[in-house]
Chains A and B, each alone.
Chain A
Amino acid sequence: MAGNPKKLQEKSTELATFYVGKALCGIDILSIQEINKHFEVTTVPQAPEYVVGVLNLRGRIVTVLDVGKKLGLSQIRAGKQNRNIIVRSQDELVGLMVDSISDVVTADQDRIEPAPSNIGGVKGKYFKGVMKTSKALIGILDIEEVLKE
């Protein structure tokens, strides 16, 4: 679903947006299972650096990733606004820890442009495209790329 870049062009999509550091990112709302504030993670020694830990989400083990570190930015700073975005990918649930969440916006095909090589310090390969709104520039994340081991 999320992995198909063509999807965006088909019809208007709703994007859930959130902040990673200062970058405003968005993902297709349909690929999100839920957004929560569970942070009782169990740390996993020897795990890749970007793994925050594992979480019990109603009986399922969810790996929580620090999106900041994963995208090559600095670590997500712990704060009250932190959220866990649970996405479904390749038959498993993965949690994306983000600094804070923002609005849900409708992606307008006309305003989506190919991603530049760099958005706010994040490599362009992580994006499917960018969308300009009146307020800001939203980088539309390619979830599968972000979740690559």
Chain B
Amino acid sequence: MIEDDEILQMYIEESLEHLSDIESDLLTIEGEGENIDVDIVNNVFRAAHSIKGGAGFMGLTTIKGLAHSLENVLDLIRNKELIPTPNRISVLLTGFDKLEHLMNNIQASNDEDVSDITDALTNITKSSLSEDKQDMVTNTVDIALQDGRIFPAVSQYSIEQAKSEGKFTYLVEYDLIRDIQRNNRNPIELLDSLEKTGIIIDSRVDFDSVGTLGDTSSSTRIPFQILFASILEPDMAGTLFDLADEFIHIITDDMLSASRGDHEKETAAMPPPVSTDQVAAPTAQTQARVSTHENTERSAREQHVRPDHVEVQHVKPLQEAPKVEKSVTTAPKPIVQEPVQSTEPALKKTLKQEAPKPRAIQEPVKAKTEPQHIQKKAEAEDVEHDSSNMNLSKPMGSLRVNVTLLDTLMNLAGELVLSRNQLIQGINSSNTKATELSSQRIDMITSELQEAIMRTRMQPIANVFNKFTRVVRDLSRELGKSINLTIEGKEVELDKTIIESINDPLTHLVRNSVDHGIELPHEREAAGKKTTGEIALRAFHDAGQVNIVISDDGKGLDPDRIAATAVKKGLMSEQQVGELSDKEKIELILLPGFSTAEKVTDVSGRGVGMDVVMTNLEKMGGIIEIDSKTGKGTDIQIKLPLTLAIIPSQIISVGNEKYAIPQVNLDELLRIPASQVKDRIEKVGDADVVRLRGNLLPLLNLAEVLGIQKTFIHPDDNKEYPDKRTSVADRRSPRYNKDGKTDQNHPGKSDHRTGEDRRYRSSSAINIAVVSAGTHKYGLVVDELRDSEEIVVKPLGRHLKKCNGYAGATIMGDGKVALILDVSNLAQMAELTTMAEAERTAKAARAAEEAREKARDKASLLLFKNGPEHCAAPLHLVERIERIPVSSIENVSGKKVVQYRGGALPLFELSQVANVSKLPATEQQEIIVFTVKGRELGLMVTPPVDAIELSLDIDDSTLKQTGINGSMIIDGHTTLLVDIFDVVKTLNPSWFEEEKAATEALMEENRQKVILFAEDSAFFRNQVKGFMTEEGYSVISAEDGEIAWNLLKERHHEIDIVVTDLEMPNMDGFELTQKIKNDPTFNHFTVIALTSLASDAHVKKGKEVGIDEYEIKLDRENLMKLIRKYLNF
């Protein structure tokens, strides 16, 4: 048996699928204008057509009518009789939108009034036809068959159209039961297959001729009539239709007669909604019928209220009425019968307009006679139908899955069963090896299964992206803007749930870009941009996440205006705003209650701000980043997880319980050794902060936020005691008050108990998970950091809904439940205000600290020992570190070498050059390999070897000697800074001779060349100046950027090149460069920047202000090469 529901469902799904592609096709058609691409138009046409075909069978009259009108217009476009102007396309788009809307509300579709759209479409059709043909569009004809039956109300236009194309028109009658159901076909498939050989003009189920249960004389067929136009000759038709000749009628002109009703009636005359097996499953349609009845009643009322509207113009033959009655008796329940009696779904329309029929009046009255009875039944039925109705109102409840994928799943399931059997066998026979093997197999299969199942849920992001072409088009037309939308990465796949929930936020962002981002054409012209704005939508995979970027080249966001608005709206104080960077100011628009639009347009101003977008994204575990340049445009980047069901996360523990932190929120893990707690954890105001790479990060103690009573195992007696510590910071940690100044009342490190460091056990180390959520970044102090695991997210029960700190729960490998932490809610629970305050105070402290730091230079050094002495060398000169057995060192002609990578690596120790201790004899020798002058050599050292990044504060007098630049205190040890160049020069002067000769030749010339050198550190100033003068250059040195700038202004005639440090007080290297490059007098100067830390961001920033070259400090060789390149060509 075919369930009616099932076919309807299938029809809806298929139609929606057709509709989903139409929009982009229509837009392409619009874009091509007169150069009509017939293939694309055909696509759209076919879609409208097959929707119409199915609708006829389903009795969805409104849909059928609408699809028909759309089809007519498309047909004209296809035949190049109509040019698809934007206005016409707009009407078509609205039409298809309406169609989609009807599809989604299929049960109510027949009651919808779509006349405005159909009228508009009809007008388009008419406008392109010659006058005599115009009427045909609205006219309908009836087809009379030989046996007296009538196929009513066929569009005359369609028939004429078919005829003019030289096609034969057939009326074929399939029997729903015998021809279709018993042959295991279904009507929609049938329509589809017919479509291949011709055009279906109309279709209906002829209920008039269906006999009743008691009526034995009548035929037992349920004819499904299809009006079909094809170029196929009549003698072939029988084969095609697979029907006996008596059911194939060739339509000739004399069978046509003007329809009794006008166009409006076409719908009215349609048969009632039907189900294939009306007797067995009458309920499916009752809902529709009940509402039909209501309409009838309403119409009846209208009728009575406005009797003047009743003009009997067209008298509808009564022939149909009794037949309907008859068909109705086949239905078993009176409830079905009742509404069917008042069968005209379009009755309302008919009544409202000018053509009510006598029956129409009679009908409602009949209905009124037993309204009580109906009402009751209807109510009773209502309850039952709610559920079935629900299913239908959500037609997207099913998902299409690739068959290959399904096969893969099936195979995997099979394998899983096999492995299970093996496992059981292994266990039963206590065969450890077999058990192990099968558990491995199960492990593998499970992963594959997981992936395959995940893939079934994956959908291309095109599903969301495609609609934006339309959104942008409509919106830009409405706003009078010209915008070009480019979409990239449509094929990127995301989990179904994410695809569904990302729709709204994305729409909002795209609308924002159109509305607020892109300027009006004249504004753009004035700003010197192309009049057409560009919006780009890109999706791509990156680091296991999906990135979506929405960028526009509009006016961008104005950080100061945003800040001002935030202050005006009381979201932040003036002072708070003042401390923010531009990027942070821009991110203020994510705050709740913010909207920058000065003019509230229809587009924005709908009460949904960016904060909602952010909340929605965060719910999905997404992150949003905004990057905007005033006047240039805005980039909004969204990062989303691939799926929500299984997420990678970090397991941590507090007390006796484990918790999971989603990896998306996790930035890094930090373990502060017991001995460093007092130095790295500080107290700012009431909040603990940790010093992390020069920044202060607020700390949140998870146990405290969640109110877990912390315990600790006392190391002396191994018993558990409650932990009474309330603060992470050490008593001796430095304290700052809220201005960021050192708090005088609590000077750090001055407790009476100071002295011996009591935190010596490794268990008192502090473990921190650095997490970020939205704009908040903080450190979560936990007891232990554990593994990183993939976890399956499960919801918590309703009793725990109020616990905001958790995003759900998961089951760990040991079977216990672990809670998943919601990082952003935790921050809120710890009272955002204090957090924000702590952050700001931390920032103030950081700023103070930075000012101090800035005066110094930072460098990466490699620390090592030379016997008892602590030494350091610049890290960037180090090639690698090796450990070799001492026995492999050979003594060749007084020099030590080791065979290394097919060559001899010369080895030396520091004592050969400088006055330091000799290395002790060992079995293994650590060697630091340096590259100087393109050659490698190894410095033998004593471990441990360690890298460190710190501010250089070099004493270049006390311990300076050959091979040693100077000394500084690192970690409490006087450390010698090894000058590798000097060492090599002393050991292998020959390496430099060649070059020396070359330089000497240039010496004289170089004396004419003047270098302006800005550097604040005296050590580096002398060092680098030394390199330069050694090669003969004259050097003017300056202590900071400002001095350099003044010197440049005074003496720019003599200066040839500028070499500058980047980090300097008063004016830094960036500012200096910018000044030079922006001044027409000086902008010809080459600027070489010296830096100790050349990060990509630095380099980018430098390039922006105009720095020509970057070089690392202390890399004498490259620096001089660079200077020579510019000065000596």
Contact = CB atoms under 8 A, between A and B. Distances in A.
Contacts of B803: 44, 46-47
A51 interface: yes
Interface in B789-825: 794-803, 805-806, 809, 811, 815-819
A50 B708 CA distance: 16
Interface string B685-696: 000000000000
Interface string A66-83: 000000000000000000
A149 B1061 CA distance: 65
A48 B802 contact: yes
Which of B706, B795, B800, B803 neighbours the largest number of chain A CB atoms within 10 Å of its CB? B800
Interface in A91-135: 92-94
21 contacts: A40-B816, A41-B817, A42-B657, A42-B809, A42-B816, A42-B817, A44-B796, A44-B806, A44-B819, A45-B706, A54-B796, A56-B815, A61-B809, A63-B796, A63-B798, A63-B799, A65-B799, A90-B798, A93-B797, A94-B797, A149-B801
A54 B794 CA distance: 12
Contacts of A40: 815-816
A55 interface: yes
Contacts of B798: 63, 90, 92, 149
B706 A46 contact: yes
Contact of B799 (A45, A46, A47, A56): A47
B394 to A, nearest CB: 18
A54 to B, nearest CB: 5
B657 A46 contact: no
A36 interface: no
Interface residues of A, number: 27
A11 interface: no
Contact of A48 (B657, B706, B799, B809): B799
B239 to A, nearest CB: 56
B707 interface: yes
Contacts of A51: 799-800
B809 A43 contact: no
A22 interface: no
A142 B708 CA distance: 33
B51 to A, nearest CB: 37
Contacts of B815: 40, 56
Interface in B657-700: 657
Nearest to B795: A61
B817 A61 contact: yes
A41 B708 CA distance: 16
B707 A45 contact: yes
Interface residues of B, number: 23
Contacts of A60: 794
A15 interface: no
Contact of B818 (A42, A55, A149): A42
A67 B1014 CA distance: 77
A112 B811 CA distance: 43
A47 to B, nearest CB: 6
B657 A63 contact: no
Nearest to A63: B797
Nearest to B804: A46
Contacts of A43: 657
Given A47-B803, A48-B802, A61 B797 contact: yes
A46 B797 contact: no
A94 B801 CA distance: 14
A50 B801 CA distance: 14
A149 B809 contact: no
A24 interface: no
Interface in B936-955: none
Nearest to A54: B817
Contacts of A46: 706-707, 803, 805
Nearest to B792: A59
A41 B799 CA distance: 15
Contacts of B819: 42, 44, 54
Given A63-B799, A90-B798, A92-B798, 11 more contacts: A40-B816, A42-B816, A44-B800, A44-B806, A51-B799, A54-B797, A56-B817, A61-B795, A63-B797, A63-B798, A63-B800
Contacts of A63: 796-800
Interface string A10-53: 00000000000000000000000000000011111111101101
Interface string B808-849: 010100011111000000000000000000000000000000
A62 interface: yes
A90 B799 CA distance: 12
Nearest to A89: B798
A148 to B, nearest CB: 9
Nearest to A45: B706
Nearest to A50: B799
Contacts of B806: 44
A65 B799 CA distance: 9
Contacts of B811: 56, 59, 61
Given A40-B815, A94-B797, A149-B801, A54 B707 contact: no
Contacts of B794: 60-61
B824 to A, nearest CB: 16
Contacts of A55: 817
A145 to B, nearest CB: 14
A54 B809 contact: yes
Contacts of A44: 796, 800, 803, 806, 819
A35 to B, nearest CB: 18
A53 B656 CA distance: 13
Contact of B796 (A50, A61, A93): A61
